[in-house]
Amino acid sequence: MAAGIARFEVTAVVPFAAGQDFGAGGYERVTGVAHGAVDPMDPRNAGIVDLALAPRNAAGLVEYSTEVALLRPADPASSSGRLVHDVTNRGRKRVMGNMYDAVVDPGAANALEVAAAAGNGMGLRVGASYSWCGWDPEAPRANGNLRMTIPTLEGVSGPCRDEFVFGTRITPADRPTAPLSYPAVVAAGGRLTVRRTRQGAAREVAFAFAGERAIRLLPEGTGFERGSIYEFRYTATGARPLGIGLLATRDLVEFLRRDAASPLAAQQPRTVLGVGISQSGRFLRHFIGLGLNGDSAGRRVFDGVLTHVAGAGRVFMNERFAQPDRTACWHEDLGFPEAWFPIAAAPSRDPMSGTVAGLLPGLPTDPLLMESNTSTEYWQKGASLAHTVADGSADLPEHPGARQYLISGTKHGAAAGLTTAKGNATNPNNPHNPGPALRALLEALAAWVEHGTLPPASRVPRLADGTLVPAATVIAAFSALPGLALPRFATPVAPVADWVASEHAAAGWHCLVPAVDADGNERAGVRLPDIAAPLGTFTGWNLYAAEGLGGELADREGTFLAFPAQRDPADPRAPLAARYPDRAAYVEAVRAAAQALVRDRLLLAEDAAGFVARAEREPALG
């Protein structure tokens, strides 16, 4: 057995959507399992923590397997030669929902059986193939999520910490037990604390183990407080070298693209684009930062990479007892590692360590990189650090192999089909959909990779033009808006010195946020027609509504505050009647905004027409 993918086991090949033609003929859905191995002695794998401790086979290799799903043109002659690898998010397929507006339940999104799972179908019109694989052995098993198998380290135990916030990260909120990330050494005991807010005082709580993978409160029948922050420190076993998930992704993509035994061999992939949404985007940033984009022959794995809503982060996966599902925000998971220097693609200096480096290592195998973020990533995820020096004092020059984009006025989890329903937040929620911009960016990335056509210049807020400012400046600008719950600050981003103790470095990096106009909408970035010709104020932040959580940023939610229809003395924003005297004026404003974006290759012509059509029937205009 050699390193790499040794065997691909096909478990099913079925027509997708009953063979419907989306423009390049019908598609097939292929499912299978890739069996592979990595060599702990290979210098390419040197950065993977604990790989040297993993059990090996007779050839000295560490074996793994990963679940795989593919969509491929049923007729190989219809293939465009493009492969899009959508890195799974906690085992879930995301590209069709976030990029192509599929509005289906999670099970249908993963099953890829019906046409609705492809959304508007635009992703299947040019004959591209799509691939997904598991990379986390602990990804939730629900809804057909993809996982992988990685060996456990024998005889390894050590300190661990779990955090639980019921009603946001732990559901359902009335669940009687809290799940542990790793098996506990029950005899060693543990310590459970709770605090209502991130800066609140922690108090110790009585608990009992409910097996080695869960705890419950005492006395029996006591429920967990919804929205409070529980932390449990214990001695864990069952560690695995989770960084193998990075290597398995590298080797699978090489196999799919290059190997004669690949289930995509007939489709002949010539270029590969990596796409990652949220956690998956952080995975790709981690992959690039570790210099893993070279295959066994020194060729690029991903020719181009598009990350969306990854902020400044990577994934907490390449440490002992790591927990890849963590995502740091103010109220949740803040003490877990997520950001490591370097953050920006362009080289810069870390003021804490003195290191000079860029996320793109400067290797011949570096991919072309596009990063898009929303307002939320500036407020909660340190996105400004992707294009400023780490102390926030200056803009960075644009790296020739990278672009950054702010999708203005948008929240982290934005997608088609959202509403203004508050959920567990205080303000009406933000329904703005970034999908049209993402589709245009993916096409621009493909043209960059396949034809050398330079993509649109970066569109992010800058210190130089006053569109990137301290959070306090923006908060003050919102203070005049009636009935709006406001944040107190943007979430700080800093290295985590000790994640078990939940200790950050003494000093962090300096994060900034996008400046806003008189309406409270962001001035810089890719301003889709909903923002350029607005019907209200769109933000990337919201606050929790629960008692005792006042001032706590609500996970990664956003806010929408509609403009008044007529002049309101309490509201300094111009009313709709003054902005758009009639529907025709509104339609023309939308058309002008859409046409400008099409000219700049930040919106596809088809989507521009869709914005205009929607404006023609917008109910807010009467």
- Say if residue 359's pLDDT is above 90: yes
Task: Residue 106: name the closest of 114, 120, 94 by CA.
Answer: 94
CA distance 207 to 191: 8
- How is residue 121 written in tokens? 């179908």
DSSP per-residue letters across 558-583: -EEEEPPSS--TT--SPPHHHH-SSH
pLDDT tens digit sequence for 510-523 = 999 999 999 999 99
Rounded Cα distance, 387 and 397, in Å: 8
Domain ranges across the chain: 1-65+99-153+243-266, 157-237, 270-580
What pLDDT is attached to residue 505? 67
Contacts of 619 (CB under 8 A, 6+ apart): none
Q: Provide the residue type at 306 as one letter.
A: L
Quote the CA–CA distance of 159 and 511 in Å, as a whole number: 31
Tokens in use for 241?
């070298």
Structure tokens at 138: 């602990």
List residues bridging with 203 in a β-sheet: 194
Q: Nearest Cα to 512, choosing from 396, 338, 401, 425?
A: 396
Residue 550 has pLDDT above 90, yes or no: no
At residue 231 the predicted structure's pLDDT band, cuts being 50, 70 and 90, is very high
Q: Which long-range contacts (CB under 8 A, 24 or more apart) does 345-350 make?
A: 345/369, 345/371, 345/386, 345/399, 345/401, 345/402, 345/404, 346/387, 346/396, 346/397, 346/398, 346/399, 346/402, 348/389, 348/390, 348/396, 349/389, 349/390, 350/390
Return the C-alpha torsion angle 361, 363, 367, 369, nearest 10: 30
Q: What is the pLDDT of residues 378-397, one digit of tens each?
A: 999 999 999 999 999 999 99
Predicted pLDDT of residue 273? 98
**Residue tagged 């982290």 (tokens):** 412
Q: Over the stretch 126-156, which tens digit does the pLDDT of each residue have?
A: 999 999 999 999 999 899 999 999 999 999 9
Tell me the two tokens of residue 314: 């990577």
Under 8 Å between Cβ of 327 and 549: no
Model confidence at 508: pLDDT above 80:
no
Which pLDDT belongs to residue 171? Answer: 86
Measure the CA–CA gap between 162 and 179, rounded to whole angstroms.
Answer: 9
**Residue 160 DSSP code:** E
Residue carrying structure tokens 């059990």 = 55
Residue 506 has pLDDT above 70, yes or no: no
445-476: per-residue pLDDT in tens? 999 999 999 999 999 999 999 999 999 999 99
What pTM did the predictor assign?
Answer: 0.98
Give tens-digit pLDDT for 252-272: 999 999 999 999 999 999 999
Residues 328, 360: Cα–Cα separation, whole Å: 23
How many angstroms separate the CA atoms of 87 and 285, rounded?
12
The dihedral through the CA atoms of 13, 19, 25, 29 has a sign that is negative
Buried (b) or exposed (e) across 336-374, using 16+ Cβ within 10 A? bbbbbbbbbbbbbebbbeeeebbbbbeeebbbbbbbbbb
CA dist 424 and 421 (Å) reads 9
β partners of residue 233 = 161, 191
Distance, in Å, from the CA atom of 139 to the CA atom of 136, rounded to the nearest integer, reads 5
Q: In whole angstroms, what is the distance from residue 557 CA to residue 534 CA?
A: 19
Percentage with pLDDT > 90 across the chain: 96
pLDDT at 503: 78
pLDDT tens digit string along 162-178?
Answer: 999 999 888 888 999 99
* Mean pLDDT value across the chain: 96
Among 345, 349, 278, 350, CA closest to 314: 278
Whether the CB-CB separation of 353 and 477 falls below 8 Å is answered with no
Rounded to whole angstroms, the Cα distance separating 50 from 179 reads 24
- Examine the pLDDT at 492 and tell me if it is beyond 90: yes
DSSP three-state, residue 71: strand
pLDDT 10s digits, 26-37: 999 999 999 999
The encoded tokens of residue 297 equal: 């022959």
pLDDT of residue 622: 76
Q: For the residues of 294-315, what is the DSSP string, one character each?
A: B-TTS-BS-SEEEEES-TT---
* Residues whose CB falls within 8 Å of the CB of residue 221, separated by 6 or more in sequence, listed in order: none
Instruction: Determine contact, residues 196/228, Cβ cutoff 8 Å.
Output: yes
Per-residue pLDDT, 131 = 98
Neighbours of 143 (CB within 10 A): 14
The answer to whether the beta carbons of residues 212 and 158 sit under 8 Å apart is no
Q: State in Å, rounded, how far the first CA of the chain is from the last one.
A: 69
Q: Which residues contact 63 (CB under 8 A, 6 or more apart)?
A: 1, 35, 36, 37, 57, 151
Confidence of residue 497 (pLDDT cuts 50, 70, 90): confident
**Residue 192: which region, alpha, beta or left (left: phi > 0; alpha: psi -120 to 50)?**
beta
In degrees rounded to 5, what are phi and psi of residue 313? Answer: -95, 170
Answer for the pair 133, 66: CB distance below 8 angstroms, yes or no. yes
pLDDT, tens only, 32-76: 999 999 999 999 999 999 999 999 999 999 999 999 999 999 999
pLDDT at residue 106 is higher than 90: yes
Above 80 in pLDDT, residue 504? no
Cβ distance 44 to 295 under 8 Å? Answer: no
Q: For position 169, what pLDDT does the model report?
A: 85
